[in-house]
Amino acid sequence: MIDYHELGGRIRAVAQGETDMIALMATIACEVHHADERFDWTGFYRVTGPDMLKIGPYQGGHGCLDIPFAKGVCGAAARTREVQLVPDVEAFPGHIACAASTRSELVLPVVNGAGVLLGVFDLDSDQPDAFTEEDAGALAAILTDVFKEVSA
């Protein structure tokens, strides 16, 4: 299991003073991806237009390039600004299969201190029911802290 206190401290130390969104996303994707074997694909989709996400920094195989807010787990997280914890992607209506190996998914909205949606943080696993509420809460706290000073 991940020691989120240690992971968060490491991410915050590296990110301290950084306000460039892409640099922060790349750092977090790398740190989180290598923190646990459950994570098969770890990365960000950035808001790039009205109701549209575009792939950002990530670790793992190829991801979808564009995802509308109206589609998939990432779109649902962006549209509702709520964490999407999906134990079985096959049971999620409208799931977008960017990778055939994905069995479960955790997607968290990424919002800056002004309340602007910057994108979503997407974690995929090739294991069913791989993510927990603890994962969601700990990662949400890290994202809130790291992106609070980033402008849209």
Q: Which pLDDT band holds residue 32 (cuts at 50, 70, 90)?
A: very high
CATH of 4-147, one of 1.10.10.1100, 3.60.40.10, 3.40.50.620, 3.30.450.40: 3.30.450.40
C-alpha angle 107-109-115 in degrees, rounded to nearest 5: 175
List the strands of the sheet with 117-125, edge to edge. Answer: 66-68, 52-59, 41-49, 117-125, 104-111, 84-86
User: Rounded CA gap, 27 and 88, in Å?
Assistant: 28
Q: Which pLDDT band holds residue 131 (cuts at 50, 70, 90)?
A: very high
| 107-146 residues labelled b (16+ CB within 10 A) or e (exposed) | bbbbbbeeeebbbbbbbbbbeeebbeeebbebbbebbeeb
Beta bridge partners of 45: 55, 120
The per-residue pLDDT for range 7-19, each reduced to its tens digit, is 999 999 999 999 9
The per-residue pLDDT for range 68-111, each reduced to its tens digit, is 999 999 999 999 999 999 999 888 877 777 777 789 999 999 99
Q: What is the pTM of this model?
A: 0.95
Residue-range domain boundaries for the chain: 4-147
